[in-house]
Structures are given as structure tokens and as C-alpha cells.
Amino acid sequence: MGSAHCENRRLPRIVASVYDLSRLSDWTGFGDRWVVAGLLTLSFAVLARWVRGVTSAGAVAGAVSCFVLYLGGGPTAFAALVTVFVLAWISTRLGYQRKQSLGIAEKREGRNASQVAANLGVATTCAAIVLFNSHHFAWLLATGAALSEAAADTVSSEVGQAFGHRARLITNWESVPAGTNGAVSLTGTLAGVAAAGIVSWVCAAGNLFPRNLLVVSAGAAILGMVADSFLGAWLERHGLLNNDSVNFLSTLVAALASAWLTPAG
């Protein structure tokens, strides 16, 4: 208990220090940017593992995403990644005893490599494409939307399971137990919308994409979150997809939706 409390108090300070390190790129060239990306990757992976946000394998998967996101999207993409991690870390620990009693709590050692890859794979791929594509505006917007959806999905699920007193299946509005695949609650949905807005705001504030597209990124993320619930109800409940597949597809929906929602011209 004391160790966990200590971690809770130190996390914001450590996250701030890691983000300050990301700003080294403001005065380094592209070659040195690889060094900064490496330092950030190591720092972020160690932090994530230390606070038990991820397993050792999950830290490796997160490190790969961190490195690519920083190279493709710069400090802002890294800041968005840290925001996703912090939101997921906090929401996972909310109402943990209730989740344990329901048998739906995440393992205390954190998310594993497949979970990390499922949530960050689309954003990482989009950021990688930026490195080789001079017309990278749409890919950066897709990166932000995918990261926003990853946060929205995790927060909506965790908060809904912790505080949602009534969950309903999204396909037919039938009342179901909290934690049921495809179930939604008002509390969880509102929390997910807020998470999408927070991550999209971080992206827009740091100029990952123009600020007038903040609503596009957040809206695409919310569409992805809704798609996640439908996929859970239609496919995951019947054993046709697992949770990692559903999470990956929902971030893909968000990335594609960002292009669809972007005004022409």
C-alpha cells in the first residue's frame, strides 16, 4: 500500500521530467533527434514498467511505439502518448476493488505487449509513414485520432466498470452486467468523450495538426469508440474476435474517420 501511494505521488513529477526531456529537439538537428528519441524511449519504458502500467514485454512494445511516434510526430506526438498512458493508468486504478469483485479488473502487473500493440499499432504506423511521405498532414491527423481513440476506449471501459451502475448492450439496449463485451454506460461514455477531447487538445495545442481540426480528431476518436462497442457486441461476444483485435480495429476506424471528417479544401 505504501509503495503504491509513493508511486501515485511521484508519477506526475516523473512524467513532467520525461516530457521536459522531449523538448531537447527544439535545439537539436534531425540527426540528434534520433538520440533524443532513444533517450525518451528508454525513460518512458522504464517509467511505464516502474509504475506497473505495463509488463516487461509491454514496455518493449511501448518503447517501439514511443520511438516511432517521436520521430514521426515530434514532441507533440510524444506528449499525446504520455497523456494516453496517464489517462489509462489512472482510470485502470479507479474502483479497482469493485472491478476485482466482478472479475473484470486488469492484472496488477499492467498491460501486456499484445494489448499495447493493439492500442498503439495504428498510430505508430501512421507516424512511420510520415517519415517517408512529404504530404504528411493527413497521417499526422490520423495519428492524433488513433491515439485519442485509444484513450477514449480505455477510459470509457475502465470508468464505466468502476462507476457505471447500469450497462446496456449497444445493439439492442438490453441491460447487461458491467464489463460485458459491447456494453456501454452513460458514465463510461462521457468519460471516454472527455478522454478523446483531452488527447486531441494536446495534439492540436502542440500543432501536430491545425487547431481547427481538434473537433475532427476528437469526433473520429468517438466514432472509433462507438465502433469498438459494436464490434464487441457483434463479434467479440461470439468469439469471432478477441479484445486486442477489437481495439486495433477501433483505432483504425478512428484513423480512417479522421480523413472522412476533414473538410474538403
Per-residue pLDDT of the chain (265 residues; tens, 9 = 90+): 444 444 445 555 544 544 554 454 454 555 577 888 899 999 999 999 999 899 999 999 999 999 999 999 999 999 999 999 999 999 999 988 888 877 777 877 889 999 999 999 999 999 999 988 866 889 999 999 999 999 999 999 999 999 877 889 999 999 998 888 999 999 999 999 999 999 999 999 999 999 999 999 999 999 999 999 999 999 999 999 999 999 999 999 999 999 999 987 5
pTM: 0.88
Domain boundaries defined on the chain: 2-261
Residues 184-219 as b or e (16 or more Cβ within 10 Å = b): bbebbbebbbbbbbbbbbbbbebebbeeebbebbbb
The residues, ordered by sequence, that sit 6+ positions from 66 with a Cβ below 8 Å of its Cβ are: 37, 40, 41, 44, 45, 78, 81
The residue type at 182: G
Within 13 A of 164's CA, how many CA atoms are on the CB side?
Answer: 28
